[in-house]
């Protein structure tokens, strides 16, 4: 009897749990792992930071095996970069940053993001580096202040590299000396972990890698049998990213200026004013996100004022010339020395030329037209021909511009059907004179 109870105890408390655990492991192993893929292409701005935060959180929630961030950026804002780096380094899922496609780069902010990943990879033909901080928005920063900023950024880069077991000295040089690295250089200097021809090659290479998460947990990446899921930006995020581009922000500000100029110069058109107002609000959002220098915005708005003033004063083109100079100066300092954030100089030239042509021709035509005597309405009827529909002796009815009017003759009796000339208009009554005989 005792032996029977011992067998039951052994079966219930030892054999069955062990078998269930082994079965669970086999079932889990048989199921496909999940690879979550995020794509970042453009300047690092707040909406990008929010997108990465959302994507990594979703990967953690879904229990993804690994989260891959495909990266291509010229740099961006420091606060957005800090938010992304913190999210990556504290993630509960292995993070791979993959600089891709060929010809892409991860400059400035992109270097911090790449080095913060559990696994850093690059496509052949890509570049990272040039992470030296510069002033934002054209601010005047003393040499001592800049030195402190560079030292802080260098220490931060060194801390990230040390945490991920990368070459701290070379990582610092990307900040202190704006050093750049090709994919071959980065791998040789232990700044990245591997080079991969494409996404499939990357997923194949990271199979079996051991990484340590922020919690201290060590996990092994298993991509032997996987399903990939792309977590793309939603429509709102794509829109906000699009208008957060410095060139788009500049174009929006230019369109807003043109719309408001036309509306002010020709009140009542409505559409230019509405379009200009919407463009101005979107421009202010973009300029705020990109930390645009208020002095540059002020100079551009001053240029708008000078263009308008040109047509209400006699300056012989001096105000227009001042407006062009103010426009170009404001454009050049709008994003001065911001890392990865600048307006294409060709766009500045194009807008300056366009504004000049617009001021000289279009606005000139509009305002000159406003200054002309009106050629329609009652005033426009003076001097035109009307036909008497009834005898005028001295009053009666005439047909003028397709309408019947009460009329009074100033030159004697007018017979029915006779042509007359309108001499003046008083309310709804016309004064006419006989048409001279040819």
The answer on pLDDT for 131 being more than 80 is no
pLDDT digits (tens, 9 = 90+) for 193-211: 999 999 999 999 999 999 9
User: Is there a contact between 136 and 337 (Cβ–Cβ < 8 Å)?
Assistant: yes
Pick the range with the lowest mean pLDDT from 184-188, 317-321, 322-326, 412-416.
317-321
Q: How far is CA 20 from CA 5, 23, 63, 227, 400, in A?
A: 22, 5, 22, 26, 101
Residue 336: its pLDDT value, please?
Answer: 62
Taking the C-alpha atoms of 135, 141, 142 and 144 in order, what is their torsion angle to the nearest 10 degrees? -60
Tokens 């990266």 sit at which residue?
71
pTM confidence score: 0.68
The answer on pLDDT for 350 being more than 90 is no
Read off the pLDDT band of 47 (50, 70, 90): very high
Q: Where are the domains of the chain?
A: 29-237, 245-371, 377-434
Pick the CATH number of 377-434 from 3.30.360.10, 2.40.50.140, 1.10.1370.40, 3.30.110.30: 2.40.50.140
Nearest to 127 by CA among 182, 74, 73: 182
Pick the range with the lowest mean pLDDT from 12-16, 229-233, 249-253.
12-16
Pick the CATH number of 29-237 from 3.40.718.10, 3.90.226.10, 1.10.1280.10, 1.10.3720.10: 3.90.226.10
% of residues, the chain, pLDDT over 70 = 80
Tokens 């890392």 sit at which residue?
339
Residue 138: its pLDDT value, please?
Answer: 41
User: Is there a contact between 92 and 213 (Cβ–Cβ < 8 Å)?
Assistant: yes
Read off the pLDDT band of 337 (50, 70, 90): low
The answer on pLDDT for 154 being more than 50 is yes
Nearest to 333 by CA among 182, 68, 137, 111: 137
Q: How many CB atoms lie within 10 A of CB 359?
A: 24
Residue 137: its pLDDT value, please?
Answer: 41
């Amino acid at each position: 009897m005792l032996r029977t109870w011992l067998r039951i105890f052994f079966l219930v408390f030892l054999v069955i749990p062990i078998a269930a655990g082994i079965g669970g492991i086999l079932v889990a192993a048989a199921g496909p792992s999940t690879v979550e893929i995020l794509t970042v292409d453009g300047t690092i701005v707040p909406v990008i930071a929010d997108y990465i935060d959302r994507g990594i959180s979703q990967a953690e929630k879904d229990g993804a095996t690994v989260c891959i961030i495909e990266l291509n950026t010229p740099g961006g804002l420091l606060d957005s970069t800090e938010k992304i780096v913190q999210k990556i380094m504290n993630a509960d899922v292995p993070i791979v940053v993959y600089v891709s496609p060929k010809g892409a780069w991860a400059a400035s902010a992109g270097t911090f993001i790449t080095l913060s990943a559990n696994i850093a990879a690059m496509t052949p033909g890509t570049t990272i580096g040039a992470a030296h901080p510069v002033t934002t928005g054209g601010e005047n920063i003393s040499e001592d202040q800049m030195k402190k900023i560079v030292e802080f950024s260098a220490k931060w880069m060194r801390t990230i590299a040390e945490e991920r077991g990368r070459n701290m000295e070379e990582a610092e040089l990307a900040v202190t000396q704006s050093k750049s690295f090709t994919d071959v250089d980065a791998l040789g200097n232990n700044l990245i972990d591997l080079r991969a021809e494409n996404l499939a090659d990357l997923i194949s290479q990271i199979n079996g890698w051991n990484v340590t998460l922020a919690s201290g947990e060590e996990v092994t990446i298993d991509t032997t049998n996987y399903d990939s899921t792309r977590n793309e930006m939603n429509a709102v995020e794509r829109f906000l990213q699009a208008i957060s581009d410095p060139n788009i922000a500049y174009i929006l500000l230019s369109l807003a200026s043109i719309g408001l100029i036309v509306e002010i110069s020709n009140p009542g058109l409505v559409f230019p004013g509405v379009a200009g107002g919407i463009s101005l609000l979107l421009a202010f959002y973009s300029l705020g996100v990109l930390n645009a220098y208020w002095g540059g915005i002020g100079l551009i708005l001053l240029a708008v004022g000078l263009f308008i003033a040109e047509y209400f004063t006699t300056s012989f083109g001096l105000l227009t010339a001042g407006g062009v100079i103010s426009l170009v100066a404001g454009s050049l300092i709008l994003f001065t020395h911001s890392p990865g954030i600048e307006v294409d100089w060709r766009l500045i030239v194009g807008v300056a030329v366009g504004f000049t042509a617009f001021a000289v021709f279009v606005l000139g035509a509009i305002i000159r037209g406003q200054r002309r005597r009106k050629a329609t309405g009652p005033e426009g009827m003076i001097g035109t021909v009307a036909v008497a529909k009834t005898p005028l002796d001295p009053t009666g009815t005439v047909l003028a511009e397709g309408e019947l009017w009460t009329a009074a003759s100033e030159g004697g009796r007018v017979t029915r059907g006779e042509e007359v000339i309108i001499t003046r208009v008083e309310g709804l009554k016309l004064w006419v004179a006989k048409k001279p005989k040819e």
